[in-house]
């Protein structure tokens, strides 16, 4: 029973970490997307 009590909060912490990682990755992705769109516009205008 002790194992259950210890592992449950750990699962919650892991979930929170993965949530913040997803948010961070999404932010990086949108930033990258802006740069890609900008590059595409520059290439199309040449």
Q: What is the pLDDT of residue 11?
A: 79
Q: What pLDDT digit, counting tens, does each position of 1-46 carry?
A: 556 566 667 778 888 889 999 999 999 999 999 999 999 999 999 8
Residue 23 sits in which domain range?
A: 1-46
Annotate 8-33 with b (16+ C-beta within 10 A) or e (fewer): eeeeeeeeeeeeeeeeeeeeeeeeee
Into how many domains does the chain fold? 1
Q: What is the pLDDT of residue 37?
A: 95
Q: What is the pLDDT of residue 14?
A: 86
Q: What pLDDT digit, counting tens, does each position of 35-44 carry?
A: 999 999 999 9
Statement: the pTM of the whole predicted model exceeds 0.85: no
């Amino acid at each position: 029973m002790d194992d259950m009590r210890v592992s449950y909060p750990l699962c919650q912490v892991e979930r929170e970490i993965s949530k913040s990682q997803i948010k961070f990755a999404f932010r990086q992705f949108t930033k990258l997307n802006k740069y890609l769109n900008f590059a595409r516009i520059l290439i199309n205008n040449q």
